[in-house]
Structure 1
Amino acid sequence: MTQAASGSTQRTTLARTLGLWAIVGLGLGYMTPTVVFDTFGIVSAETGNVVPTAYIFALVVMTFTAVSYGRMTQVFPSAGSAYTYTSETINPSFGFLIGWAALLDYLLLPLVNALIIRSYLYSFFPSAPQWLWVVVYVAAITAMCLFSMTNTSRVNMLLVVFEVVLIGVFLILAGKSLMDGMGNGTLFSTEPLWHEGVHLNLVITGATIVAFSFIGFDAITMYTEEAKDSSTVPKAILLALMIGGAIFFVSAFFTQSLFPDVSNFSQESLENSALPEIAYNVGGHLFKILLTSAAFAATVASSLASHASVSRLLYVMGRNGRGPIGRFFGYLHPSFQTPSYAIIFVGLVSLLAIGFNLDFVASLINFGALIAFTMVNLTVIVYFAYRRREVHGARQILRNIVLPGLGVMFTVLLWLYLSAESTRYGIIWFVIGIVVLLWLTRFFRRPLTLNMGEPE
C-alpha cells in the first residue's frame, strides 16, 4: 500500500502501477473494438449504408481532440480529465459543470456494456429472465474493479488481445465470403464509402452515434495518477485512438461490403446488437459462438476500463468537494487503494440496464462526451494562447489556436447533429448539475476548490 507520512498521520493514495501498454490496453478495452458490429445495424440505417465513412469522420474529429487531451495532461498530470482542465484554466464552478456533463457519458458506458451483455445472452437463452444476466454481470465487474487496479489492467489486456484475434478471423472469413459473391462480391469497392443517395448530413448523423465508440482515449487521462510515468499518458492517448480507429474502419468496411443493405436485419439487430446475426451469416452457428465470445470478452474489458475510469472521476470530484457526499466519493480503501464507494455507486447505476435499450442510452452518452471534448479543445486555447501568451509565430498559432480551434469546430458540428432526444435529456442533466452546483456553493457564496494532487 502506498502511504505518505504527514506528522503522525498517514494517507492512502492511488498506486502508480500502470505502464504505457497497460494504459493503451485500458483505452482499447474502454473503446470496445467489437462495438462496430453491435451498432452496425443502427448506424447503417442512419447513414444510408456508409458506416465506414461515419467512422472516418468521427476519427478525424477525435484526432484533433486527442492532441488537446495529450497536451493538457502534460500540463495538469492529475486524474479528472475535462473536469480538471476546465477548473484549472477557466473556473472551478464551470469545471464542475463540465465534469457533471462528462459524468453522463462516463456513468452510462458501464450501463451500455451491461445492455450489450444482456443482448448476447438473450440471443442464446431467450427463455431466461434478462434482468438476471444484468445483476450477475454488474456484480462481477464491480467486485473486480474494487479489489485491485493492477489485476484489472491485466485481465483487461488478455481480453483485448482475444477480441482482436477474433476480429482478425472475422476479416478472413468476410474476405472469403466476398470473393464467393456475398454482398458486393468484391474486396475492393467504393460502395461502402459513398454511393448514390448518401448525403453529408447522414454521415455526420452517423458520426454522432459512432463517436461514443471512441470514448476511451480520453478516459486514459483518468489513470494519470496511477501511471508509472505520467509523461507516457499523451503517447497512450494517441496510440489507443489510432489502433482503435484502424480496427473500427477496417471492420466496418468489410461488414458494409458484406451487408450493403440492412433492411433484412431483425428488429433486435436494428435496436440493440447486430453482432450475433452478422457472425451467423458470415460463419454459421460455430462462428456466432466464437465472435460472440470475443465480443463478450471485449465488453467485459470495456466494463472494467469504463467502471474503473468513471470511479476515478467521481473520486477526484469527491476529494475536491465538502460534506458527506464529497467524503463518500473521495474515499480510498486503505488496503485495495481503490475508490471503493465510487466503484460501488457505478455498479448500482449500471443496474439500470435492466430497463433500457442500447439505442436510447448510446444517444445520451454522446451529449456529455461532446461537451467534454469541446471544452478540452477550448482549454488548450485558453491556457496556451490566452494565459501564457504563446501566440508568437506560425508554429505557436497553429498549435495553440488553429488545431484546437478545429477540434472545437468539429465537435460542435457533431453536437448540432445529435438526436432531439439526446439533446433534450442532456439539457435536463445539465440543468440538474446547475442546481447541484448552486447547492454546493450556497449560491456561489462558498467557492469550490480544486485539489490537483493526491489528498493531504
Structure 2
Amino acid sequence: MTEQQGLKRRLKFIHVFILGLALLTPTTVFDTFGIASLATGGHVPLVYMFAMVAILFTVFSYVHMVKAFPSAGSAYTYVQRTFHPNLGFMVGWSALCDYLFLPMLYALAIKIYMAAYFPGVPAWLWVIIPIVVISVANLFNVKVAVSLSAVFVFAQILITIIFVALLIKGLASSSEMGSIFSLQPLFSANLTLTGVLAGVTILAYSYIGFDAISTLAEETINPTKTVPRVMIALALYIGITYTAVTYFMQVGYPDASVFIDPESAAAEIAPQIGGMLFASVFLVVIILCNISGGISAQLSISRLLYAMGRDNVIPRRIFAYVTPRSRVPIYNIIISGLVAMTAVFFDLVTAASFISFGAFTAFTFVNLSVIVFYYVRNKKRSLKETFMYLVSPLIGIGFLIIMWFSMDLRALILGICWNAAGFIFLLYITKMFKIPAPMFNFDEEEIPANENEGEEVLQA
C-alpha cells in the first residue's frame, strides 16, 4: 500500500462522535471544578455556559473550513490553502505542540493518580504502560480504536450519572428539596465580570481537542456533512453536560475553600457522597477515561503527520505510509508513542502549556481563514453571509484574545521556542524562502463522490 492510495473512508457520524468524545474526556469536568469554583466565586455552571457560547464561534469557523477542505490536515491545510504554504506550515507546526503532547497529557494524569496510590512502584512505569496500551490500540484498524473508545466513553457517562445521582440524593436527605434548585450557582451578589473571564480561561481547556476530529476527514464517510455535525454536537454535548454536572456540584459545595486541595476536589467529594467503594470505582473509571482520551489523541496526531508527510514537508516514505491490511499510518503511531514516552521527563503543567499555545494558535488562524476564504476571496457578503463569514469569526477571535492575555507566561515562552525551531526548519525546506513550503495536493480522489466543490461547499 503506497501513500498515494491514502486512507480508507469507513467512519460514520457515531464513530467520529465517539472518538471526539473520548478525546475531550467528559470526566475532565471533575478535574477542573475546584479551581474553577475558586476563580469564579462559586459560579462554575454559569461560566461553562458562557465558555460554550464563546467556543462555538470557533467551532463554526472549523465547520465552514472543513466543508471547503475535507482533508486530514485540519488547520494546517486550511491556512496553507487560504493564505500561503509557508504560513500553513507554521500553523501546522504550532498545532503539532497541541496534538503531539496530548497523549503525553493523559499519561501524566494517570501517573499522578497511580503514583499516589502505589508509591512503591517507579513513577515512570505509570507513563510507559498507558502509552504502550494506547499505541497498540491504534495499530489496529481505526474501528478497533472506535470500539475501545466506545467502551470507555460509556463508562465515563455512567460514572457521571451515578456521581450526580449521589449528589442529588445527599442534597435531598440533608436539606430542603427546594435548595437543590437554586439560582446561586448562576447568579449571586458576588458575581463579577473578572471572575467570569478568569473562569472562562480555565474552563476553555475542557473544549480543546474538538478540532482534532477534523484530522479524520479523509476516513469519514461524507466528511463535509458528518464532521461539521460532529463538531457542533460535541461542543453542545460538553457544554450542556458540564453545566448540568457542575450545577449540582456547586449547589452541594458552594464554597471551594472547604477542599484540602481544590485541584482534586472531585476525589474528595466521591468518598463523601458514595463511600470508599464508589471512590475506588471512580478512580478506575478516571484511569480508563485517560486511556481512551490518549487513544483518540494519538489517532489524531498520526493523521496530521500523515497529511504533512504526504505533502513531503516531512519525509513522505515514513510519514505518508499506510499498512496494506489495516490501512493505518503505522510509523506515525510508533513515532508519536515514542515522543509521548518523554513524559517521564515532564510534569502535567509543562505539557498543558504546550497544548494551550498550539490550540489557541490554530483556533485564531482558522477564524482568520474563514474571513479571507469566504468573505474576501469568494465575496460572500449578503447580510447572512456577512455574519457567518465575518462577524462570527471576529467574535471568535475576540474571545481568543482574552484567552491569550490570560495565558501563563511559561506557556508563551515554550510556545515561542517551539515556533522558533519550526521557523528554522521552514527556512531549510524552502531554501531561505526561495521556494514555497510543500503544499497539500487537494485532488479529486480526496473528495467524496457525492460531494461537490463550489457553491455547495461555500454554503453554510
After TM superposition, the score normalised by the length of structure 2 is: 0.90
Give yes or no for the alignment of 1:296 onto 2:287.
yes
Q: What amino acid does structure 1 have at the position aligned with 2:431?
A: R
Between the aligned partners of 1:55 and 1:183, the Cα distance in structure 2 is 26
Query: Letter of the aligned partner of 1:396 in structure 2?
Result: E
| In structure 2, C-alpha distance between the alignment counterparts of 1:187 and 1:419, rounded to whole Å | 36
Once the two structures are superposed, residues 144-172 of structure 1 have per-residue CA deviations (whole angstroms, 9 ceiling, x without a partner) of 11222111011111211221011011111
* Map 1:130-149 → 2, pairs under 5 A: 130-149=123-142
Question: Structure 2: how far apart are the matches of 1:427 and 1:11?
Answer: 34
Give the equivalent residue in structure 1 for 2:322.
332
> 1:256, 1:51 → 2: CA distance?
7
Q: What does the per-residue CA deviation read over 1:287-326, in whole Å, with 9 as the maximum and x for residues that have no partner? A: 1122222222222221111110011111111221256x44
Relative to structure 1, the CA distance from residue 215 to residue 171 in structure 2 (aligned partners, 3 Å threshold; closer, same or farther) is same
Q: Which residue of 1 aligns with 2:106?
A: 113
Contact 1:30 1:215 in 2 (8 A): no
1:406-417 equivalences in 2 (<5 Å): 406-417=395-406
Residue 452 (structure 1) shift: 3.8
- Residues 121-180 of structure 1 deviation map (CA, whole Å, 9 limit, x = unaligned): 234323322211111111111111122211101111121122101101111101112223
**Residue in 1 that maps onto 2:457:** none
Select the residue among 211, 217, 221 that pairs with 2:210: 217
The residue number in structure 1 matching 2:453 is none
For the 8 Å contact 1:38–1:275, the answer to whether it is kept is yes
Conserved? CA contact 2:49–2:240, under 8 Å: no
Aligned match of 1:127: 120
Q: Mapping of 1:3-402 within 5 angstroms?
A: 11-181=4-174, 186-230=179-223, 231-267=225-261, 270=263, 273-322=264-313, 325-391=315-381, 393-402=382-391
* Cα drift, residue 112 of structure 1: 1.2
Q: Distance in 1 between matches of 2:84 and 2:110?
A: 40
Instruction: Give the aligned residue type for 2:392.
Output: L
Distance 1:183 1:195 in 2: 20
Q: 1:46 touches 1:205 (CA, 8 Å); kept in 2? A: yes
Counterparts in 2 of 1:53 and 1:443: CA distance versus 1, 3 Å: farther
Q: Contact 1:183–1:258 (CA<8 Å) still a contact in 2?
A: no
Check 1:204–1:319 CA distance in 2 against 1; reply closer, same or farther (3 A cut): same
1:384 CA drift (Å): 0.7
Change (3 A) 1:364 1:42: farther
Aligned to 1:6: none
Give the corresponding residue for 2:451.
none
Q: Is the 8 Å Cα contact of residues 146 and 340 (structure 1) preserved in structure 2?
A: yes
Once the two structures are aligned, what percentage of the paired residues are identical?
37
Please identify, of 38-47 and 182-191, the stretch whose mean Cα deviation from structure 2 is larger. 182-191
Gaps of 5+ in 2: 447-460
Q: Structure 1-normalised TM-score?
A: 0.91
Residue 118 of structure 1, CA deviation = 1.4
Change (3 A) 1:117 1:261: same
Contact kept? 1:215, 1:369, Cα under 8 Å: yes
Please report how far the alpha carbon of residue 242 of structure 1 lies from its aligned counterpart in structure 2 after TM superposition: 0.9
- Offset of 1:235 from its aligned partner? 0.8
The whole-number CA distance in structure 2 between the counterparts of 1:47 and 1:422 is 22
Give the deviation of 1:451 after TM superposition: 2.2
Instruction: Decide whether aligned partners of structure 1 residues 128 and 338 sit closer, same or farther in structure 2, where only a CA change above 3 A counts.
Output: same
Which of 430, 444, 450 matches 2:433? 444
For 1:72 and 1:402, locate their aligned partners in 2 and report how far apart those are by CA, in whole Å: 16
Preserved contact between residue 120 and residue 276 of structure 1 (Cα < 8 Å):
no
Q: Which residue identity does 1:242 align to in structure 2?
A: L
> 2:59, 2:231 within 8 Å by CA — same for their partners in 1?
yes
The one-character-per-residue Cα deviations of 1:171-204 (angstroms, maximum 9, x if unpaired) are: 1101112223489993122333344545323332
1:89 partner amino acid: T
CA–CA distance in 2 between the matches of 1:10 and 1:82? 21
Conservation of the 8 A alpha-carbon contact between 1:142 and 1:347? yes
Larger mean CA deviation between 424-433 and 136-145 belongs to: 424-433
| Farther-moved stretch of structure 1 (20-29 vs 347-356) | 347-356
Aligned-pair CA distance for 1:101: 1.4
Deviation larger for 188-197 or 53-62: 188-197
Relative distance call for 1:360 and 1:202 in structure 2 (3 A) is farther
Q: How has the CA–CA distance of structure 1 residues 434 and 292 changed in structure 2, closer, same or farther, with 3 Å as cutoff?
A: same
Task: For 1:332, give the aligned amino acid.
Answer: V
Task: Evaluate the alpha carbon distance shift between residue 160 and residue 338 of structure 1 in structure 2; reply closer, same or farther with a 3 A threshold.
Answer: same
C-alpha displacement of 1:367:
1.6
| Structure 2: distance between partners of 1:119 and 1:277 | 15
What one-letter code is carried by the residue in structure 1 that aligns with 2:118?
F
Query: 1:427 maps to which residue?
Result: 416
Q: How many residues align?
A: 444
Q: Letter of the aligned partner of 1:413 in structure 2?
A: I
User: CA separation in 1, counterparts of 2:3 and 2:423?
Assistant: 36
Q: CA deviation at 1:92?
A: 0.9
CA distance in 2, matches of 1:434, 1:185: 59
Letter in 2 for 1:263: S
For residues 199 and 357 of structure 2, the distance between their equivalents in structure 1, rounded to whole angstroms, comes to 14
Assess, with a 3 A threshold, how the Cα gap between structure 1 residues 322 and 425 changes in structure 2: closer, same or farther. Answer: closer
